[in-house]
Structure 1
């Protein structure tokens, strides 16, 4: 049995994570901390767990093996360093932190403590994205020239996200810092080292942070990624397009089509579900299994840091209204 503490209900996914943990059968949520005490107490009551008003007290508890971090992104570095120094395994909602330097602090603490770390990258567990990686690894797309990903919803348009979601001091940004994480980490996984980036962020609903955003990134292999995200688009089907010199993969919603000029390609035309790679367990499930069974841990410190590097540089490009070379941004 894995004993877990929930650190904050700030993130909109926090309650879903708690319910998922309770459904696994091998996890007990023992305690809750929240930077808003009343919210934390109410949540602890709902979960049948103890509420700890003091984070250090929670991290000293012997019935806490690991923590799930859903605190404001601006608090991630301090919370996770404290958790690692207390010897607690860490699962965190994206983004890992607001800056690469904060990610480095977390990484140093985690490695020194020898605890397990996982960041929530659910798009990397999905069949269509696994197919894209498989096609690339098998050489069926040739050299990649263009990646386009769209991810959006109407949370800001129709006001179903909490208003604190638009507090830049807490969240670090808007649409790109939230939904934009998914296109960002997929691009990093598929295309490798970024070279330069431009950003166009807009404020359709007039809030302090952007609610409509697009980044263009050139990667080391000269592939270009067009990454689009929005909190003001209605019923937005996710879109994923991967173009290479010898093949093209188009995914829209649940439908996928592959075209290749390779005569030895095992795939052509519409892709049936049985031709897709098997969906992997959710990152949170893999974190639990990795701790209990001493197995490999997916989506680790390096993955989280690469995402933050992309995000941090994207916001520099937006603020300074210029194309930013990653060599000049303080990134790797």
Structure 2
């Protein structure tokens, strides 16, 4: 294993590929050495931007002894293929959410990484933010009593064009095959895994309403409702068509909690609560797991459950019916 770890970015398809490449450059324990992309022009541009080598043959890149890990930001529909190949080549994997288009593929990826003894972690960044830590502490103390309702909303205006120009989110994010879903499948992953964290990973039913404000091919406005066996309700909202504050609302039998990133304000029963600094992010955790030969158990489990709920929500929206969750 190299010191620092030698990392390659596999594809600049996703808009966060540049962010993770910056992390690979900035982290003292990693070095970005190569880029692969099935779109040669896009790959060469990304490699030039970060001063890395562009490699057009994925198998040749994965076969290199001087490569320790890969950041996978390919189209979602090829996640399973690329990750299994990377795992079998002995490369550690950091990947963008969602883990895969189906639960079966997600579980296949996890099995392949475990069999190969490589370290997998999925970018679920808001799990490690300070407000999440503070909210977990409130819930652990029972301050809200029994939770009855939760709502998490995250949106941006990437689908909306202005001054005759298309929105800043690339059109490839609205390709049904490559992206496998729109606002809910991409941005909505964050409200999904937070709702699962606060209310539980196993709802009884899932329903969904999707709409396309900009008409670019997939939903840019989504609401998902999760109904739990203990009668809790979770509401997940995501959009590419409005730029609203990130919001968390939790209601219980004995209190209420609200959070907004507008001012980073957390209120519990009307009183402001301090929000701590963020914990180490997923990329830093990945490096630690590689160096310490440990497994990201909670992250991996939550990534699979995230995939499960996203798949159910997409099925509910497509069929226009309530899905029994299993």
Shorter-chain TM range is: over 0.9
CA contact under 8 A between 1:30 and 1:63: conserved in structure 2?
no
Once the 2 structures are TM-superposed, how far is the Cα of residue 296 of structure 1 from its aligned partner? 5.4
Once the 2 structures are TM-superposed, how far is the Cα of residue 286 of structure 1 from its aligned partner? 1.4
Partner of 1:54: 57
Long gaps (5+) in structure 1: 260-267, 328-332
Partner of 1:263: none
Long gaps (5+) in structure 2: 162-166
Q: TM-score, normalised by structure 2?
A: 0.93
**Paired residue total:** 315
Partner of 1:116: 119
Partner of 2:228: 219
Task: Give the 5 Å matches for 1:122-133.
Answer: 122-133=125-136
Q: 2:109 aligns with which of 106, 131, 134?
A: 106
Q: 2:195 aligns with which of 187, 203, 214?
A: 187
SS in 2 for 1:194: coil
| Per-residue Cα deviation, 1:176-226 (whole angstroms, up to 9, x for no partner) | 011100000111122221210110000111121001000000124321111
Q: Runs in 1 of length 4+ with deviation above 3 angstroms?
A: 293-296
Once the 2 structures are TM-superposed, how far is the Cα of residue 58 of structure 1 from its aligned partner? 0.9
Say whether 1:256 aligns with 2:266: yes
SS in 1 for 2:257: strand
| Per-residue Cα deviation, 1:282-315 (whole angstroms, up to 9, x for no partner) | 1112111221244553653321110010000001
Task: Give the 5 Å matches for 1:119-268.
Answer: 119-158=122-161, 159-192=167-200, 193-234=202-243, 236-253=244-261, 254-259=264-269
SS in 1 for 2:227: strand
| Separation of aligned partners in 2, 1:111 and 1:57 | 23
Partner of 2:278: 279
CA contact under 8 A between 2:266 and 2:275: conserved in structure 1?
no
Q: TM-score, normalised by structure 1?
A: 0.91
1:270/1:102 CA distance change after superposition, 3 Å? same
Partner of 2:10: 7
Partner of 1:270: 272
Say whether 1:315 aligns with 2:314: yes
| Separation of aligned partners in 1, 2:297 and 2:28 | 21
Question: Alignment RMSD, CA only?
Answer: 1.4
CA contact under 8 A between 1:286 and 1:298: conserved in structure 2?
no
CA contact under 8 A between 1:283 and 1:298: conserved in structure 2?
no
1:299/1:171 CA distance change after superposition, 3 Å? farther
| Separation of aligned partners in 2, 1:122 and 1:19 | 16
